[in-house]
Structure 1
Amino acid sequence: MHAIRIEKHGGPEVMHWTELPDPTPAPGEALVRLGVAGVNYMDIGARTQGGPGWAAPTVLGVEGTGYVTALGDGVRGLAVGDRVAWFYHPGSYAELLAVPADSLVKVPDGVDDETAAALMVQGLTASHLSTETYPIGPGDTAVVHAAAGGVGQLLTQMVKARGGDVIGLVSREEKSAAAKEAGADHVLVHSGGGFEGRIKELTGGRGADVVYDGGGADTFRSSQLALRPHGVHAYYGPFMGVPTLRPTDLPNSILLTYPVVHHHVATREALVRRTGEVFDLVLAGRLTPQVGGRYPLADAARAHADLESRRTTGKLLLLP
């Protein structure tokens, strides 16, 4: 089989289409033939910076959909031919994967392979942000950074499904249409900070209830100043830079949180339940991931370069 492997950390040029031995499922694992792999900013961080579990050489990628072709000893609840998806399995940019069975969920009829792959990381991230991080209710106002991106579009749709209003932030005017199509009530074009005044105007001087901030260090302070007293700043942009601050720097008694999506699906039961909730939104017509680009798996380096350019919208997918 072939996979996208790096021998060292660096730019897209370190990604190579490499022939590797076919994996064999160990006890408790299923062998899966890849159908679709998703591209995420965490993949870029793994490629450029490494980190726990990402020492080079390694195969990139963490999510996808596929078809079970063999089962290791002790696997229950799965059968050869099942269509499955996984949320976090390092090495997902590969034609074949041996995945722990507990990390796999069955994809329901009515949810196609591309949709399922587009939802496993970014959909669960949006679910985490809009439920456990700050449970959106009717009348709440949420500011969504990168509202034309994969997480941003899904998060906007989930906020609207829960009765909230969305002020979307985009970096370029040409991205405004994608944010509006996802359901944003207002769209502001900002490449950095300085947007807090407009948000205060749009909320009648009160400020937003929550800011979902994946924008990085450049937007950190403005996100906090845009909040109402006791509002929530949900900062989930570590690969964009991690600011430092003193607790006394926080304005308006706001609450600062660093949501980690793994805590949303920390158990097998939670993974099945949360993915089921996301799939149900799709089946009900309330959630539709927008695919911003499809690339051959062998051309994953181009997908990474396009994502880093910040000119893409929606979700980028890799097809074997």
Structure 2
Amino acid sequence: MPKAIQVHEYGGPEVMRYEDVTLPAPGPGQIHVRQTAIGVNFIDIYFRSGAYKAPQLPFTPGKEGAGVIVALGEGVTDFRVGERVAYGSAASTYAEEVVIEASAAVHLADDVDDKTAAAMMLKGLTAEYLLHRTYAVKPGDTILFHAAAGGVGLIACQWAKHLGATVIGTVGSAEKAELARANGCDHVILYRDEDFSARVREITGGKGVPVVYDGVGKDTFPASLDCISPLGMFVSFGSASGPVDDFSLALLGQKGSLYATRPSLFAHASKRETLDAMAKNLFSVVASGAVKIPVHSTAKLADAQQVHRDLAARKTTGATVMIP
């Protein structure tokens, strides 16, 4: 019987139990995957704690992983048994085996290994839609990316640099600043020690940036708005420090007719042709070596509690992968 992490009640890392589970046969449009690597993301903490609600309790957290197909549900024609796949918007991936919607999976390119795939699907596809579909970064742009040494940040900053942008990143420590500089950041701001909006204005000669990408949330708002040039965009895609408080739309007018958006991977990846195009773009930039996927930590699935403690304490940089 396969093992999985089960959450019977919302709470801290201790509510995650490593247990035997019974998997149903794949239904119409589903695939059964034996996983080889499992991605870890902040959204998993939101679901475990109850900040985001699961469809029911108990549930198995996790959105991301890679593995080999062992069975196909009715009507699945795009995949075959024995094929390697990866996914960043599946469900219940903290498990040795999963039954997921085939629509969430993509064919894994031969030149991308399983650990890299599990580490990059959610974070890499997030970077893809941020840089290409939310605000399309172009050569000559100067952008601000918060948490530049985080899982999404290290991928996005490399990619933005590859697209020809000047990249300003914020980080929380001197060690993370070094990492950010090594991964595409031209300017690094220690946001706990400096007024980051003043530094951004200084770096840009008072002009500000056309876009701020923010996965931090509460700690970086509303100061992020002071970094943006008129008609620019505030992109909130996460809330690692807690959610952004409700604010008046009039504030966007006062700060220079700004745009604000809260995009999600799931909205972008819900169309098969869009997901395939995003994955193709991601795989090609990784295969070319222009973007390297930093897997800085590997853990056993059974140790998921400690993995969550380290992630929540901001002890981690880059990606953490769990091995079943």
Bucket of the pairwise TM-score, normalised by the shorter protein = over 0.9
1:187-232 C-alpha deviation (Å, 9 max, x unpaired)? 1111388311111010111111111011111211111001111111
Q: Which amino acid aligns with 2:312?
A: E
Partner of 1:273: 277
Q: Does 1:26 align with 2:30?
A: no
User: Does the residue aligned with 2:256 lie in a helix, a strand or coil?
Assistant: helix
Q: Which amino acid aligns with 2:16?
A: M
Q: How far apart are the structure 1 equivalents of 2:51 and 2:216?
A: 21
Q: Does 1:247 align with 2:227?
A: no
Partner of 1:58: 59
Q: Does 1:300 align with 2:301?
A: no
Q: Which amino acid aligns with 2:284?
A: D
Q: How far apart are the structure 1 equivalents of 2:299 and 2:193?
A: 30
The Cα shift of 1:52 comes to 4.4
Q: Residues 97-246 of structure 1: matches in 2 within 5 Å?
A: 97-191=98-192, 194-238=195-239, 240-246=242-248
Q: How far apart are the structure 1 equivalents of 2:28 and 2:11?
A: 35
Partner of 1:76: 77
> Identity, % of aligned pairs?
40
The Cα shift of 1:29 comes to 1.6
1:159-191 C-alpha deviation (Å, 9 max, x unpaired)? 112111100100111111110111100111113
Q: How far apart are the structure 2 equivalents of 1:20 and 1:89?
A: 18
Contact 1:193 / 1:219 at 8 angstroms: preserved in 2? no
Q: How far apart are the structure 1 equivalents of 2:194 and 2:203?
A: 17
Q: How far apart are the structure 1 equivalents of 2:31 and 2:247?
A: 45
Q: Which amino acid aligns with 1:199?
A: V
The Cα shift of 1:263 comes to 2.3
Q: How far apart are the structure 2 equivalents of 1:214 and 1:102?
A: 26
Contact 2:160 / 2:184 at 8 angstroms: preserved in 1? no
Contact 2:216 / 2:239 at 8 angstroms: preserved in 1? no
Contact 2:23 / 2:99 at 8 angstroms: preserved in 1? no
RMSD: 1.4
Contact 2:221 / 2:244 at 8 angstroms: preserved in 1? no
1:38-88 C-alpha deviation (Å, 9 max, x unpaired)? 011100000001534343211111110000111222221222110001121
Q: How far apart are the structure 2 equivalents of 1:172 and 1:193?
A: 12
Q: Does 1:318 align with 2:319?
A: no
Partner of 1:16: 17
Q: How far apart are the structure 1 equivalents of 2:207 and 2:292?
A: 31
Contact 1:192 / 1:219 at 8 angstroms: preserved in 2? no
User: Does the residue aligned with 1:252 lie in a helix, a strand or coil?
Assistant: coil
In structure 2, which of residues 255, 261, 264 is the aligned counterpart of residue 257 of structure 1?
A: 261
Q: Residues 78-93 of structure 1: matches in 2 within 5 Å?
A: 78-93=79-94
Q: How far apart are the structure 1 equivalents of 2:243 and 2:117?
A: 29
What are the ranges of 5 or more consecutive residues in structure 1 without an aligned counterpart?
none
Q: Does 1:43 align with 2:44?
A: yes
Q: Which amino acid aligns with 1:247?
A: L
User: Does the residue aligned with 1:293 lie in a helix, a strand or coil?
Assistant: strand
Q: Which amino acid aligns with 1:142?
A: I
Contact 1:193 / 1:222 at 8 angstroms: preserved in 2? no
User: Does the residue aligned with 1:59 lie in a helix, a strand or coil?
Assistant: coil
Q: How far apart are the structure 2 equivalents of 1:7 and 1:144?
A: 36
Give TM-score, length-normalised by structure 1.
0.96
Q: How far apart are the structure 1 equivalents of 2:9 and 2:139?
A: 48
Aligned pairs, how many? Answer: 320
The Cα shift of 1:23 comes to 3.3
Structure 1 residues 198, 33: closer, same or farther in 2, change over 3 A? same
Q: Which amino acid aligns with 1:230?
A: L
1:237-274 C-alpha deviation (Å, 9 max, x unpaired)? 24621211112222022211111222222211111111
What are the ranges of 5 or more consecutive residues in structure 2 without an aligned counterpart?
none
Structure 1 residues 266, 193: closer, same or farther in 2, change over 3 A? farther
Give TM-score, length-normalised by structure 2.
0.95
Partner of 2:291: 287
Contact 1:23 / 1:97 at 8 angstroms: preserved in 2? no
